[in-house]
Structure 1
């Protein structure tokens, strides 16, 4: 084994892609500003120099065109990685994502595969307003045929990206801007991680317990894992041991790990940066209730973005986003204590 290195999420993603491109000539990348610029969030940095313009293709500003082309390339035997610069831009190319990528394996009776990765940036926190700050995990998880991935750290980002590239189904790889480790946007300390040079894949559908506890279960993903860990530190000062679960993938969803944790703690808080209504937070709570409602000693709590466009104003944006303080208050509510 090679010596491990501390790497940012953006570097981990680009390394994963490079390793798969070296191993498999059918893997290629395309999208806006992914070549010379290396992607505005650094996910394709260095790829053009090594692989050239045939395999690292800058595209026009035409998401419908290049995502549709990605579907065709995947069905023709290639393994495209297509960057949708901001997840908010999905509106102009949803037909290619949902009616083509997501359904064509089913429509063909399994005779065609669609081994395609759509990687896209999510999340707010830096005042870029309502068309560049959404998370939208549940939007894609709700659509049959898509796998949905949302890593919280560099180690998971590399392993999940390699698994996504090797998968024969279309995968939405949703990375949070605030976790990328960019010079112009601060990341939580835990986002960068030690990881080996060797290629490795992390199986989909396996959540990770990132902090053990016995009093309350906090389920989260992506940026909210770090907010949840901060909350758990504060709760520990009050004698409450929170168990924090990082879902890592939404489709497939590891309900078993969540249920087993709640079976131990009896209390549940779910945190997501997506919108609250009809979302992941409700799905997790429903999964526990359907398994056994008597597992819960107190009403479950969910924290998510209220059903409003993400505000441009920095104070207003912070007001709508989940925070460590809000998670602490929700956990205390399940403990029958005042926040």
Structure 2
């Protein structure tokens, strides 16, 4: 892993009919961002120039056709395609979705080749991206196929970190997906991420129940007693500080979440509704468990405000900062693992 110099942040542009490019432009209009990293946007100079003009951005792009041409202190654009794209803000368009995937595929290719250090993805529209060649419900599943490791959607904002046992799964299928093996896998992924990505030496993790009131001892479902609790007990026997299952309805409102380094929710909305209620606009979606760092903002394409120059870039900017910090933490963790005496003596 890179140890010196500015971190190279690859950026996929997401759905061009959404707010993705707008929040990218607004983030890097602040020249101070270039003190922390060297951005490379995977798109086309024609599209970026058109959207720059539309949003009255003052950024001067550095066009590159090879990654060895990137320049520090510049916003670099890697030309993924040359043909024009018909942009209609706020409209669902599978053709535009194809360009979101072109940007993503190119950026992931360079991430795998180590020509960029981290990846920050602008929002995609999950319906627009579906095709014969791309049948993934989102970024996470695609990255899990392309990169090494076992992915986990990890929503982070300061000391609030929420992971998911199941992510893009229909609610009526959640219970059937949750097994002892899955619980072990996700808890271990969260545990390792807290150590290497967030520098927490002895992580404390809470697991939320599957059923209302964690099943009320079998009155409202047996899965919490027959699947979650036995798995948690086995993990605790290994020496990990893992607790639960907790009743999800009161867990956040009572501020119990503040006593833990991370929370593992059983399904998507159980974890993301409270997370976004508490941290929306400042949260980051981090794909934990993989051998590369990828982050994204905590919101979608926002078609309803696309093209109006009113999007808030705060979450995207946080995603850039988080990717940089997680990368640095991994370098430090790797160095410590190889030579703990040298690191602790500093």
Is the pair's TM-score, using the shorter chain for normalization, greater than 0.5? no
Q: RCO higher in 1 or 2 (8 Å CA, sep ≥ 6)?
A: 2
Query: Is the radius of gyration larger for structure 1 or structure 2?
Result: 2
